[in-house]
Amino acid sequence: MKNIDSRNHTRGASQYVDDLPILEGTLFAAIFDSSIAHGEIISLDVSQAEQAEGVYKVLTSKDIPGENQIGGIVPDEPLLAEKEVHFCGMPVAVVLAESSEMAHAALKFIQVEYKKHTPVVDPREAAAKGWLIIPPRTFVKGSVEEAWACCEHIFEGRADSNGQEHLYIETQGCYSIPLENGKIRIISSTQGPTAVQRCVAKVLGVGMHQVEVDVTRLGGGFGGKEDQANTWAAIAALGTRCTGRPVKCVLDRMADMRMTGKRHPYSSDFKIGFDKDLKIKAFKATFYQNAGASADLSPAVLERTLFHCTNAYHIPHVWARALSCRTNLPPNTAFRGFGGPQGMFVIESALAMAAEKLGIRKEEIQKRNLIQEGDVFPYGQVAEGVEAQNAWQSVENSFDFPGWKNKVDAYNLQNRWKKKGLSFMPICFGISFTKTLMNQARALVHVYSDGSIAVSTGAVEMGQGVNTKMLQVAAHAFSVSPERIRIDTTNTGRIANTSPSAASATADLNGKATWIACQAILQRMKERAAEQFQCSADEIKMQDEWVWVRDQKSDWDWKQLVLQCFLSRISLSEHGHYATPRIHFDLTKEKGHPFAYHVYGTAITEVTVDCLLGTYDFDRVAVVHDYGISMNPIVDKGQIEGGLVQGFGWMTMEDLRYNPEGRLLSNALSTYKVPDIYSVPRILDIIPLETPGSELAIFRSKAVGEPPLMYGIGAYFAIRDAVLAFNPQAEVPFDAPFTPEKVLLALYSGKSILA
């Protein structure tokens, strides 16, 4: 089945926040944000701006009727700065005017005087000062200290990975509309409608029932709108509350890049030990997470770094500590993979260092240490399948790796100024929110008397195709044509207390809830049919829009059955609830069974590096991916292609730069390079791993949103392999992204090969 949005998307008919018709009386917001990264506000004067043409009002923290607090996990983030500013881009005041142009023009009349403090932008420096968001977390398995003594080889090093701009095509935005009796309707580009509702209610000092949040779809989220859509919604809602008028707050691209947090940069130390057979005995790591100025989702991201710090490998002794370091950058936030990729980059760096120092291929070490059934993760969960081994073996065999390697070696012998590199990147990603309570969802299904069906869930469509999957679930449950079904907007009035659409878990959680709701309605319908056909309800079956009785097609079709139920006053609506069974986690022990299941796969990446320019091409990527049993192969393949290329971007070209004063330098698409069509591998083969899936996945179709991003890490190590093929003496720090500038420096580093 095709993505149900594809027709509208390609015709420009899909609606986003900025496409909504403007209501009469609407005010437009422009945000005045801090120009310094750290300091005190000595004075703030908005009176001149309030006199500017078209300006209706300028909001400051004094206008907030409820709490000036938007922190979700830790209450450490004011909506509008009061006495201090903590990052460049921190909202200080909001101009509300009759047009967006007038609002932005008035920003220059706002006068603010700061007393500057020295900003901290480096996480290790923050840690040394004791600026931590939460106490450090440590995962321990076995005893690394005892294990070192038995190791044949030990390597120590450091690995750094930088942040990443989400660059959703649709920037952050919200439209807030006053309803009667103080109620407000919020139309937001958010992954978390309930997070927006809760945040707005808190800032306005009203009950959550006074706030309705409605989401049609997002032009991309990637984690950037899991928590950080709240700010703009709260600003718009505050405007509506203070003026009684609709308020639209949509960020332009540069404002969005400047004011919002990104993927967390990490700086990490590692130590790894092997026995004489190159089995990993012990792994120790300390992760310094650059959290930015307030917690946002950093503590949860930090936790996922620890969960994934051994990637797809079995390691008997592990000690991993993670520190969430407070710096004067915009609060960093969720980004596809949620700290997992940052953890995986470190173990992959450790394995690369070992291979390079021992003079063997990295894949020999990787392959030897893959997780097997029954192995225990550092957090206590037991590995349930053999997918890690099978995916590796399958990609090696299907793409004749030995032959491929020979061709690459031959190429490198024949070419002096161009070198090819190869890498294997296995992945293992846990599916579930690591916070157990978030693994719940609801769906509301209405069957109308004409036989049409409306489905509402907590799932937010952001281009990932979740609405298509929800529609498939309902169509399959009732065995009716997809044309009968409409997936409604995500609305807090229809579905309450939603978890954000995140953690790759949206289709599983909301799909199961939809299935449960449909089954309840279907059961009542079958009972009605059983009455008619003088049989028991379990002898009734819906098939291709017809009622079947004891495997015989009856003379009732779907529409007739629905009508008869309605005439008999039988409820044709149901609210389904699903909570993932079996998962748990004990924070005091850092052990448990946090994930419903894991997703595995392996990618082989081939690159060619131009050794005069430092530039590179992605020649080919071959992936064997564990889809389980895909319920929508086209949608899922799209997720793999997109995730992989996004991962390539993070690891190779997306060069996020702040200066030492904490100002974002790469603040537009002219200075921040993201993958384009030329960055897509020339050949990209994706084949499914044959597996039975997981019963905790919807229709055994495993979660696919985040895992493929981590195949992108393979690009870094393939480039590294090519650099070392050119210059075996090269001294290359583990420092992603591997931009062409860094590649060029690496090519001619170490003992000069030009001498």
Segment 480 to 539, residues that bind ligand MOS, using CB under 6 A: 502-503
Residue with nearest beta carbon to ligand MOS: 223
Residue indicated by tokens 């990527």: 621
Q: How far apart are CA 329 and CA 262, in angstroms?
A: 10
Please state the closest distance from residue 212 (CB atom) to ligand LUZ, in A.
23
Please state the closest distance from residue 508 (CB atom) to ligand MOS, in A.
12
Q: How far apart are CA 238 and CA 195, in angstroms?
A: 16
**Nearest to ligand MOS of 168, 283 (CB atom):** 168
Residues 6+ apart with CB under 8 A from 281: 147, 150, 151, 273, 274, 275, 315, 316, 317
Residue indicated by tokens 């001294």: 731
The token duo for 666 is: 């790469």
Which DSSP symbol is given to 721? H
- How many of the chain's residues bind ligand MOS (CB under 6 A)? 10
- 191 makes contact with ligand MOS (CB under 6 A): yes
**Nearest to ligand MOS of 93, 334 (CB atom):** 334
Query: Strand 184-188 and strand 211-215: pairing?
Result: parallel
- 304 makes contact with ligand MOS (CB under 6 A): no
Residue 618 in contact with residue 635, Cβ under 8 Å?
Answer: no
Q: How far apart are CA 583 and CA 736, in angstroms?
A: 34
Which stretch, 113-121, 329-337, 378-386, 555-563, contacts ligand MOS (CB under 6 A)?
329-337
249, 334, 509, 621: which one binds ligand MOS (CB under 6 A): 334
**Nearest to ligand MOS of 643, 688 (CB atom):** 643
Residue 191 interacts with which of ligand LUZ, ligand MOS, none, CB < 5 to 8 Å by class: ligand MOS
Please state the closest distance from residue 410 (CB atom) to ligand MOS, in A.
41
Name which of 38, 28, 82, 88 is nearest 252 in CA terms: 28
**Nearest to ligand MOS of 190, 492 (CB atom):** 190
Q: What is the CA radius of gyration of the chain?
A: 27
Segment 338 to 357, residues that bind ligand MOS, using CB under 6 A: 338
Phi and psi at residue 91, to the nearest 5°? -60, 135
DSSP H helical ranges for 135-250: 144-148, 193-204, 230-243
Residue 335 interacts with which of ligand LUZ, ligand MOS, none, CB < 5 to 8 Å by class: ligand MOS
Name which of 86, 122, 115 is nearest 293 in CA terms: 86
Please state the closest distance from residue 192 (CB atom) to ligand MOS, in A.
8
Please state the closest distance from residue 191 (CB atom) to ligand MOS, in A.
6
160, 170, 226, 654: which one binds ligand MOS (CB under 6 A): 226
Segment 671 to 710, residues that bind ligand MOS, using CB under 6 A: 706
Per the annotation, the verdict on 706 as an active-site residue is yes
Residue 304 interacts with which of ligand LUZ, ligand MOS, none, CB < 5 to 8 Å by class: ligand LUZ
Q: How far apart are CA 226 and CA 204, in angstroms?
A: 21
Residue 139 interacts with which of ligand MOS, ligand LUZ, none, CB < 5 to 8 Å by class: none
Please state the closest distance from residue 65 (CB atom) to ligand LUZ, in A.
28
Q: What is the 3-state secondary structure (H, E, C) of 628-692?
A: ECCCCHHHHHHHHHHHHHHHHHHHHHCCCCECCCCCECCCCCCCCCCCCHHHCCCEEEEEECCCC
Q: How far apart are CA 484 and CA 447, in angstroms?
A: 10
Residues 6+ apart with CB under 8 A from 565: 524, 525, 528, 572
Name which of 41, 53, 40, 43 is nearest 95 in CA terms: 53
- 335 makes contact with ligand MOS (CB under 6 A): yes
**Nearest to ligand MOS of 256, 396 (CB atom):** 256
**Nearest to ligand MOS of 338, 627 (CB atom):** 338
**Nearest to ligand MOS of 32, 338 (CB atom):** 338
38, 137, 241, 336: which one binds ligand MOS (CB under 6 A): 336
Residue 433 interacts with which of ligand LUZ, ligand MOS, none, CB < 5 to 8 Å by class: ligand LUZ
Please state the closest distance from residue 338 (CB atom) to ligand MOS, in A.
4
Residue 642 in contact with residue 464, Cβ under 8 Å?
Answer: no
DSSP H helical ranges for 94-178: 100-106, 123-128, 144-148
Please state the closest distance from residue 147 (CB atom) to ligand LUZ, in A.
29
Name which of 517, 617, 641 is nearest 571 in CA terms: 517
The site for ligand LUZ (CB under 6 A) is made up of 226, 297, 300, 304, 334, 338, 433-435, 502-503
Active-site residue, selected from the candidate residues 212, 574, 654, 706: 706
Which stretch, 311-319, 328-336, 469-477, 641-649, contacts ligand MOS (CB under 6 A)?
328-336
* Residues tagged active-site: 706
Q: Which residues bind ligand MOS (CB under 6 A)?
A: 191, 223, 226, 334-336, 338, 502-503, 706
